[in-house]
Chains A and B, each alone.
Chain A
């Protein structure tokens, strides 16, 4: 009876370590957030890729909306906003379209598996003086439901998440 009890304790400890270990390691690996209280979003550039104007504008507007909602910044400035010059701890987000595939909503609705729209954007977060702080390639997709412009919403949500994970108004949190 005593043996069963001891084995039970050993198993419990083993299972706890097995499941808690990766979670603890993930917390250790998570880098410290960089200090940034405000962000300026520049207009999406697409020099190499021919991007329809509605996609370019939708990427920009969705990005600003999502950063305001989920980015965790006190201020989100637009391209050319004069107030950004006085902002402290400002991060500038430059986005360049690296890939774009315009699918078809009709094909998606008819086949379910084909006709996806995707946009691949290189995002570079820089400081006010141009120092590169973070860069990521982020992809926005629409595979099943919604119009083609929904890909821009998907991209914006992912970018706001990246910003939220890496920047904070109070440093090192």
Chain B
């Protein structure tokens, strides 16, 4: 009798905890990545800093004023690449060009590596758009994989390969630095 009661209590306890278990197993959205939108997003100025995340099947670029959502399924091509920029860039970087004894040139030698993420997508009218983002090294490939998992296509398959990859450029490789 006592054993049966314990069993029932244990079952009820598990039932109470089950919603939390399900919530913890649910896929956590990836943390937004800090990026610079070089060009291409509608309604966003060139060279706008913001964050890029994949939420609910959308590629979301958020910056100070607004958010831009793109359905991952509308993305026709995702390609990653490499670039670099001066360690001291922006306004301060420009000012260093006037530093004495050509020290501005010397500072140009110190650079940080960047990843580039290039996407091509279609709008509601079928018009083709392209967008280019730069982000810290190692981030682009992660976003690309997430996009492909959400239904985006690529002409340059990832190392694991993907069924979503189009046959446009089967032998193409990712750009090397």
A interface with B by C-beta (< 8 Å): 43, 52-54, 56-58, 60-62, 65, 77-83, 105-106, 109-110, 147-149
CB atoms of B175 and A53 under 8 A apart: yes
Q: Check A52/B81 contact, CB under 8 A, given A58-B132, A110-B109, A149-B38.
A: yes
CB atoms of A78 and B129 under 8 A apart: yes
B73 located at the interface, meaning its Cβ lies under 8 Å from any Cβ of chain A in the complex: no
Q: Check A109/B86 contact, CB under 8 A, given A54-B116, A58-B132, A77-B127.
A: yes
**What are the 7 A-B residue pairs with the smallest beta carbon separation, nearest first?**
A57-B130, A78-B127, A109-B108, A81-B127, A53-B79, A79-B128, A53-B118
Shortest B104–chain A CB gap in Å is: 8
Question: When chains A and B are docked, how far (Å) is the Cα of A61 from the Cα of B115?
Answer: 20
Q: Check A110/B108 contact, CB under 8 A, given A53-B175, A57-B118, A57-B120.
A: yes
CB atoms of B125 and A82 under 8 A apart: yes
B81, B116, B126, B175: the one contacting A81 at CB < 8 Å is: B126
Given A61-B131, A109-B105, 7 further pairs, Cβ under 8 A: A53-B175, A61-B130, A65-B39, A78-B128, A105-B84, A106-B108, A110-B109
CB atoms of A57 and B40 under 8 A apart: yes
Give the chain A neighbours of B38 by CB distance below 8 A: 54, 58, 149
Give 1 or 0 for each of B79-92: 1 = CB within 8 Å of chain A CB: 10101111000000
Give the chain A neighbours of B34 by CB distance below 8 A: none
Question: When chains A and B are docked, how far (Å) is the Cα of A76 from the Cα of B85?
Answer: 33
Give the chain B neighbours of A52 by CB distance below 8 A: 81, 175
CB atoms of B126 and A54 under 8 A apart: no
Q: List 16 A-B contacts (CB under 8 A).
A: A53-B118, A54-B38, A56-B118, A60-B130, A61-B130, A78-B127, A78-B128, A78-B129, A82-B126, A105-B85, A106-B84, A106-B111, A109-B86, A109-B105, A110-B105, A147-B85
CB atoms of A61 and B128 under 8 A apart: no
Question: When chains A and B are docked, how far (Å) is the Cα of A60 from the Cα of B121?
Answer: 13
B141 located at the interface, meaning its Cβ lies under 8 Å from any Cβ of chain A in the complex: no
CB atoms of A43 and B128 under 8 A apart: yes
CB atoms of A58 and B108 under 8 A apart: no
The residue of chain A having its C-beta at the shortest distance from the C-beta of B106 within the complex is A110
Most B CB within 10 A of own CB, among A54, A105, A106: A54
B122 located at the interface, meaning its Cβ lies under 8 Å from any Cβ of chain A in the complex: yes
CB atoms of B77 and A53 under 8 A apart: yes
Question: When chains A and B are docked, how far (Å) is the Cα of A35 from the Cα of B116?
Answer: 40
Give 1 or 0 for each of B93-129: 1 = CB within 8 Å of chain A CB: 0000100000011001101000010101011011111
CB atoms of A61 and B108 under 8 A apart: no
